[in-house]
């Protein structure tokens, strides 16, 4: 039987050096921010100072994959620090980018964690001009090759929303690469892309064009977050649409949609890694009843709830999300050390 969801507000902060207060960051939306040349020029119009700051750190790394004749120039944010602890690797949700982590990434890094933010193949700011396949198998292989080439150590893999399905699929298929999991408002019970996979290609392209429409994305913003002002909502829509401006975005998204997408519900009980499930109490997109179900089905998991929060806690409540991730890692580290500590032999 599942334990009741625990509020993040009642948790102790085990990393006192991590001051998880947004007011500590006095980043200004300076006109002279140096953005990578491969980002869409509309990045200059973004007002959010955290998005602008993180965008200056996005780079592309060459990744070789069997389904691509040439290396895929793959976008990510690399860590500023190297740590003796295993790295934390942040995925994003459906049709999003690493900029989704604009508020929580600096908090984790400030706490001393070696932190990566990775763009999932088909979304984000990678160059996909010569890449035709963006189905689940391709996304998995691409991520594995990036991990093998650059990260090279077992990681704490963090997946929000559909990114949780990506994380579960990856952890089950590549257990040597994943030390533990953080699943945030996890979309792991959807049956892939459903009937969309059966659409004729022309109809699929028409549907995808609607997906990037401004009204739909603005509606999703107000559904996903509580109490967001209209001006903030507009800016967040523009942040979320940046990667849609690439000429290959429609092809990549259609490739994913007609492939059937992620269907990981049967993989959940195969996850062996220690996992924390984090959920926004007021999620209007995925019911927190599914959080309890996931906790019941994941063999080695704990569950925590963030009050007064919607679907994406790492955007809406970054302080709470960062605190829960840090506590989880601290507790995991302590348990691991205790298991490895030699027992004292008693001599009579």
Distances (CA, A) of 248 to 124, 127, 310: 11, 8, 31
Query: Residue 104 above 60 pLDDT?
Result: yes
What's the structural domain count of the chain? 1
Residue (of 197, 233, 225) closest to 285 by Cα position = 225
Which of 47-68 are b and which e, b meaning 16 or more Cβ less than 10 Å from the residue's Cβ? ebbbbbbbbebbebbebebeeb
- Tokens 């934390």: give the residue: 88
Looking up residue 90, the CATH number of its domain turns out to be 3.40.50.1820
Among the listed residues 48, 135, 283, 319, the single catalytic one is 283
Q: pLDDT exceeding 70 applies to what percent of the chain?
A: 89
Alpha carbon distances (Å) from 175 to 61, 85, 271, 294, 333 = 23, 18, 9, 19, 18
Of residues 211 and 141, more confidently modeled: 141
Catalytic residue among 92, 243, 311, 314: 311
What is the reported pLDDT for 343?
54
**131 touches 68 (CB < 8 A):** yes
Residue 18: its pLDDT value, please? 39
- Alpha-helical runs (H) found in 78-212: 104-110, 136-146, 162-173, 201-211
Predicted local confidence at residue 30, as pLDDT: 53
C-alpha atoms less than 13 angstroms from C-alpha of 71 in its C-beta half-sphere: 10
Residue 335: CB atoms within 10 Å = 11
User: Between the CA atoms of 318, 321, 323 and 326, what dihedral angle is there, to the nearest 10 degrees?
Assistant: -120
pLDDT (tens digit per residue) in 300-338: 999 999 999 999 999 999 999 999 999 999 998 888 777
Lowest-confidence segment of 164-178, 209-223, 291-305 by average pLDDT: 209-223
Helices and strands, number each (H, E), in the chain: 11, 9
Q: Which domain holds residue 164?
A: 62-194+261-335
Q: Could you give the CA distance from residue 208 to residue 203 in angstroms, rounded to a whole number?
A: 9
Catalytic residue among 68, 96, 133, 161: 161
Work out the percent of the chain whose per-residue pLDDT is above 90.
Answer: 73
As a whole number of angstroms, the distance between CA 176 and CA 168 comes to 13
pLDDT at position 17: 39
Q: Is 83 strand, coil or helix?
A: coil
Residue 83 and residue 290: Cα distance in Å, rounded?
Answer: 35
62 membership: H or E segment, kind and range: strand 58-63
Q: Mean of the pLDDT values across residues 164-170?
A: 98
Residues forming a β-bridge with 74: 61
**What pTM was estimated for this model as a whole?**
0.88
Beta bridge partners of 182: 158, 276
287 belongs to the catalytic site: no
Classify residue 92: in a domain, yes or no. Answer: yes
* Mean pLDDT of the region 266-275: 96
Among 203, 189, 217, 213, residue whose Cα is nearest residue 257: 203
With respect to residue 137, please indicate whether it lies within any of the assigned structural domains: yes
pLDDT in tens, 6-17: 444 333 333 433
Alpha-carbon gap, residue 239 to 317, rounded angstroms:
18
In a domain, 130, yes or no: yes
Does residue 199 fall inside a structural domain? no
Residue 273 above 90 pLDDT? Answer: yes
* pLDDT the model gives residue 346: 47
In a domain, 269, yes or no: yes
Enumerate residues 6+ apart whose C-beta is below 8 A from 136. Answer: 169, 256, 259, 260, 261, 262
Give the mean pLDDT of the chain: 88
pLDDT of residue 240: 95
| pLDDT tens per residue, range 20-72 | 333 333 344 455 679 999 999 999 999 999 999 999 999 999 999 999 989 99
Within a domain: 243: no
Average pLDDT over residues 167-188: 98
Work out the burial of residue 318: count CB atoms within 10 Å of its CB; fewer than 13 is exposed, 13-18 middle, 19 or more buried: buried
What is the model's pLDDT at position 50?
97
Q: Tens digit of pLDDT for each residue in 238-261?
A: 999 999 999 999 999 999 988 899
Q: Please say if the pLDDT value at position 143 is more than 90.
A: yes
Spatial distance between the Cα atoms of 235 and 231, rounded to a whole number of angstroms: 6
For 70-91, how does the pLDDT look when each residue is reduced to its tens digit (9 = 90+)?
Answer: 999 999 999 998 888 899 999 9
Q: How far apart are CA 74 and CA 94, in angstroms?
A: 17
Residue 348: its pLDDT value, please?
44
Residue 295 annotated among the catalytic residues of the structure? no
For this structure, is 311 an active site residue? Answer: yes
């Amino acid at each position: 039987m599942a334990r009741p969801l625990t509020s993040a507000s009642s948790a102790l902060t085990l990393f006192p050096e991590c001051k998880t207060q947004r007011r500590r960051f006095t980043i200004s939306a300076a006109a002279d921010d140096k953005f990578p040349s491969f980002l869409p020029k509309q990045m200059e119009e973004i007002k959010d100072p955290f998005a602008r700051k993180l965008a200056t750190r996005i780079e592309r790394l060459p990744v070789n994959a069997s389904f691509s004749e040439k290396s895929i120039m793959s976008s990510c944010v690399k860590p500023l620090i190297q740590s003796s602890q295993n790295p934390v690797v942040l995925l994003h949700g459906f049709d999003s980018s690493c900029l989704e982590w604009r508020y929580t990434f600096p908090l984790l890094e400030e706490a001393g964690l070696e932190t990566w933010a990775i763009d999932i193949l088909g979304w984000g700011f990678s160059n996909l001009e010569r890449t035709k396949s963006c189905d689940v198998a391709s996304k998995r292989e691409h991520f594995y090759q990036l991990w093998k080439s650059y990260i090279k150590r077992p990681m704490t893999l963090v997946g929000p929303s559909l990114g949780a399905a990506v994380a579960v699929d990856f952890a089950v298929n590549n257990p040597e690469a994943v030390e533990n999991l953080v699943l945030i408002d996890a979309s792991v019970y959807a049956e892939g892309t459903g009937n969309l996979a059966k659409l004729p290609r022309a109809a699929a392209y028409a549907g995808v064009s609607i997906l990037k429409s401004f009204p739909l994305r603005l509606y999703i913003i107000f559904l996903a977050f509580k109490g967001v002002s209209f001006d903030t909502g507009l800016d967040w829509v523009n942040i979320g649409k940046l990667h849609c401006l690439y000429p290959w975005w429609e092809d990549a998204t259609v490739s994913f949609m007609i492939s059937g997408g992620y269907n990981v519900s049967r993989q959940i009980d195969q996850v062996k890694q220690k996992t924390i499930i984090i959920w926004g109490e007021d999620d209007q997109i995925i019911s927190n009843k599914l959080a309890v179900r996931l906790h019941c089905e994941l063999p080695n998991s704990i569950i925590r709830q963030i009050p007064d929060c919607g679907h994406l806690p790492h955007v809406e409540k970054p302080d709470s999300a960062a605190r829960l991730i840090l506590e989880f890692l601290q507790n995991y580290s302590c348990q691991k050390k205790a298991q490895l500590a030699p027992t004292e032999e008693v001599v009579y």
